[in-house]
């Protein structure tokens, strides 16, 4: 079966052959040019350079943050803590500061900006989240309904929203897509997260937002949307 490029080559060859033999009428030339134009449009739709570049860069983003995750786990095995927020903030793109765990610190392949990394405000963190923003919005690893959230909660280090990150990795004791709330939201405002829909559960004292639902009367900084349709937060 001929693909677009082979068909175009075949048509051009036949045009040249016909011209050498008998010549073309004006109508025949117009028909051939129309067919070639349609083929070029068709091929441009299949081979989208921008989309191909986005997918290649997304693959690099996934590889980078998974490498950082492995490096953090090795760091933890040696020190019984993950890197602190101050240590992470000091890591510059392509620097060797995090040796021997990573020879060169990776950054976003397009913006050359460090990846978003969130951890505890502690001298000995026991969790981390590493986030990035994939450009191919149809990527199957972006959580379903990611952009359909009612509110725009923050993630990772508490400074980025659903429109700025959509993929990540984390330590095994948290999920990368857990929303980041002020600590007061886990206690003083826990009544804001009572179950309201089938499948939702109330928020235990001092716990994070898992299995909680939003209440419209809550302090804005403590509102959640993960259970707004009766789904269990996870």
Please give the pLDDT value at position 233: 46
- Residues 67 and 158 grouped into a single domain: yes
b/e per residue 69-88 (b: at least 16 CB within 10 A): bebbeebbeeeebbbbbeeb
Does pLDDT of 13 surpass 60? no
- Residues 78 and 126 grouped into a single domain: yes
Please give the pLDDT value at position 176: 92
pLDDT in tens, 27-77: 777 888 888 888 777 666 556 777 888 999 999 999 999 999 999 999 999
Structural domains counted in the chain: 3
Mean pLDDT for the stretch of residues 92-115:
96
Distance CA 36, CA 149 (A): 45
- Residues 18 and 76 grouped into a single domain: no
- Residues 136 and 231 grouped into a single domain: no
Full domain range(s) for residue 24: 4-40
- Residues 66 and 163 grouped into a single domain: yes
Distance CA 104, CA 99 (A): 8
Is there a contact between 71 and 105 (Cβ–Cβ < 8 Å)? no
Mean pLDDT for the stretch of residues 173-181:
82
Instruction: Confirm whether 163 is domain-assigned.
Output: yes
Confidence of residue 111 (pLDDT cuts 50, 70, 90): very high
- Residues 93 and 130 grouped into a single domain: yes
Does pLDDT of 110 surpass 80? yes
Tell me which of 120, 135, 170 is where a domain ends: 170
Mean pLDDT for the stretch of residues 10-36:
66
Instruction: Confirm whether 114 is domain-assigned.
Output: yes
How many CB atoms are closer than 10 A to CB 18? 14
Does pLDDT of 196 surpass 80? no
Q: Collapse the DSSP code of 6 into the 3-class scheme (helix H, G, I; strand E, B; otherwise coil) and give the result.
A: helix
Q: Collapse the DSSP code of 150 into the 3-class scheme (helix H, G, I; strand E, B; otherwise coil) and give the result.
A: coil
Please give the pLDDT value at position 148: 79
pLDDT in tens, 123-141: 999 999 999 999 999 999 9
Instruction: Confirm whether 52 is domain-assigned.
Output: no
Q: If you search the block for the tokens 């898992």, which residue do you land on?
A: 210
Instruction: Confirm whether 48 is domain-assigned.
Output: no
Does pLDDT of 195 surpass 50? no
Instruction: Confirm whether 154 is domain-assigned.
Output: yes
List 128's β-bridge partners, or say none. Answer: 119
Single out the residue of 90, 82, 153, 73 nearest to residue 119, CA to CA: 82
- Residues 130 and 230 grouped into a single domain: no
Q: What is the DSSP string of 165-212?
A: --EEEE-TTS-TTPBP--GGGGTTTGGGG---STT--PPPTT--STT-
Instruction: Confirm whether 57 is domain-assigned.
Output: no
How many CB atoms are closer than 10 A to CB 204? 13
Confidence of residue 113 (pLDDT cuts 50, 70, 90): very high
Instruction: Confirm whether 56 is domain-assigned.
Output: no
Instruction: Confirm whether 33 is domain-assigned.
Output: yes
């Amino acid at each position: 079966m001929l693909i677009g490029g082979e068909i175009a080559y075949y048509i051009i060859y036949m045009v040249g052959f016909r011209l050498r033999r008998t010549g073309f009428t004006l109508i025949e030339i117009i028909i051939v040019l129309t067919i070639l134009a349609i083929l070029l449009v068709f091929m441009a739709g299949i081979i989208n350079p921008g989309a191909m570049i986005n997918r290649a860069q997304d693959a690099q983003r996934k590889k980078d943050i998974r490498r950082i995750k492995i490096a953090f786990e090795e760091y933890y095995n040696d020190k019984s803590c993950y890197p602190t927020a101050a240590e992470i903030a000091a890591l510059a793109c392509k620097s060797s500061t995090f040796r021997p765990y990573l020879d060169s610190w990776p950054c976003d392949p397009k913006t050359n900006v460090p990846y978003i990394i969130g951890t505890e405000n502690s001298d000995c963190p026991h969790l981390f989240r590493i986030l990035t923003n994939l450009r191919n919005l149809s990527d199957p690893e972006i959580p379903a309904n990611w952009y359909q959230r009612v509110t725009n909660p923050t993630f990772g280090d508490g400074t980025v929203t659903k429109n700025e990150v959509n993929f990540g990795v984390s330590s095994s004791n948290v999920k990368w897509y857990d929303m980041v709330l002020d600590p007061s939201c886990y206690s003083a405002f826990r009544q804001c997260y009572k179950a309201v829909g089938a499948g939702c559960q109330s928020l235990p004292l001092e716990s994070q937002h898992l299995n909680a639902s939003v209440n419209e009367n809550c302090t804005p900084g403590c509102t959640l949307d993960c259970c707004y349709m009766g789904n269990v937060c996870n």
